[in-house]
Structure 1
């Protein structure tokens, strides 16, 4: 029997004050990001993702995720107005940031030097989330080697964002989430299959009041 097609809903620009989700991953992240997005509904807030990956692979990675996910998934080319129901994957040659644009938000790509030996860097994305989105941001750090994203996630938390880390049991490499937890950047830890539920409980659905959850 053929699998049911993924149905993606229409998208709309988000305004200042709306929730935005930021995700960072490295080693083992291709499957972790896929599993995370498969638990996210089509009408989700904008999601920006940095996955450490060479530039020749990020486009096909985004296309594969788009075929498997309810939200629309695209490789960012910079300058996109952030829309609900859309996931923006950082290209392998540039840092990805969020910036304000009028009453909403847009993506920005930077060709500045690598940070933590990576371009794109999770810290660059998370730093922009802390600076621009503040308490309306949600940060998620997934499996990966090293410490990229740990300090940025801490800055997000200090700015009022809610922050999550993948648990050791479901990580391929418990490096980045561990470093983030050690410095107090992570509020709550869960398996990659449970994280979408925790994140969406903070967001709610259109027309609903977000659920109040107690983070560990």
Structure 2
């Protein structure tokens, strides 16, 4: 029998510490080795028995969660699941947490916390199990890649050229570890890149800030998608948290439909919803890319894209933080090519061709 996943719970709320400890302790294969009200108490406990995964609040006394996260990742990298209230300023703080190396985020509300944690027990357990499998070395490489210069474009577009054609389309799906991977990929794309649509599994109210951050870092324009928005060369549309995004053809153009609906593969937005719509709307004019993430969302949709004639790419295991979604896509023979993260930008610029 495999050793249990050892978890340290760090949160200044006694209710959160109690409920999270109870929920995780009930899950097979998980052992809570300690709970602490702030990072300094946690460090004392962790130095005696270092955990496999840390669940971490952001706003705490004596040392905030971001500072603690950076300290851990610099000195002894350990998978961290941030449990944060994503409202107002807190959303920006959570974005900083992902940039600093957090594997995933569980959104917790300001009211009804205890009942919410019970309702979200499955998500919390899944996040901890996914974090325990995270490849932190790949996470570090993603950060280094994001600082690389954009790939050279063949030529800059003439004035107004970006609105002339959307014949080619790129669809990207990712989850755990995807925030860093997307920064690494999109940060290297020139403004001549075909229009891109992205599903990154994220909580509601979080994707707008994520898009803003990427927009500041990238040569391409990055936006949170709005219903009816056009897909244009040099533009990246990211599905809003809590909404599905699909693509449809409108004459010579591609348009995104952003809508509510039940979760698909336990996710909203779902990569499968996006990929299946791209298979129907764009067929062989599309390129599909599935990257790091836990579970199998997007694998079947990527297979539909390949069957429709699209080029398809899966990120390789060595460069994934979690090799779940790409692994399932490869198993289904949905991926035409399997590439390390550092080679995905050139595949996007080249249309996916070898």
Q: TM-score, normalized by length of structure 2? A: 0.54
- The whole-number CA distance in structure 1 between the counterparts of 2:161 and 2:207 is 22
1:101 and 2:222 are equivalent in the alignment: no
CA distance in 2, matches of 1:71, 1:80: 16
Partner of 1:178: 327
Greater RCO between the two (CA within 8 Å, min separation 6)? 1
Distance in 2 (alpha carbons) for counterparts of 1:61 and 1:131 = 28
Q: Deviations over 1:135-177 (max 9, x none)?
A: 0000000000000000000000000000001110110000000
Corresponding position of 2:237 = 88
**1:11 shift after superposition:** 6.3
Larger Rg: 2
Could you say which residue in structure 2 is the equivalent of 1:50? 199
Q: Secondary structure at the match of 1:100?
A: strand
CA contact (8 A) 2:197 2:231 kept: no
More helix by share: 2
Deviation sequence 1:96-121 (CA, Å, 0-9, x none): 11111232111111211110000000
Aligned length: 199
**How many angstroms does 1:197 deviate by?**
0.7
* Structure 1 position 68 matched with structure 2 position 237: no
Cross-structure match for 2:286:
137
Of 336, 339, 345 in structure 2, the residue corresponding to residue 196 of structure 1 is 345
Name structure 1 gaps, 5 residues minimum: 204-212
* TM-score between the two structures when normalised by the length of structure 1: 0.87
| 3-state DSSP of counterpart to 1:42 | coil
1:124 alignment partner in structure 2: 273
Are the equivalent residues in 1 in contact too, given 2:207–2:224 (CA < 8 A)? yes
1:147 alignment partner, one of 293, 296, 304: 296
Describe the superposition over 1:26-80 as per-residue Cα deviations: whole angstroms up to 9, x where unpaired: 0000001111101211111100000000012100000000011110000001111
Alignment partner of 2:309 out of 155, 160, 168: 160
Partner of 1:22: 171
Cα 1:157–1:89 shift into 2, 3 Å = same
Match of 2:162 among 3, 7, 12: 12
SS in structure 2 of the partner of residue 193 of structure 1: helix
Distance in 1 separating the partners of 2:289 and 2:181: 11
Query: Unaligned stretches of 5+ in structure 2?
Result: 1-146, 151-155
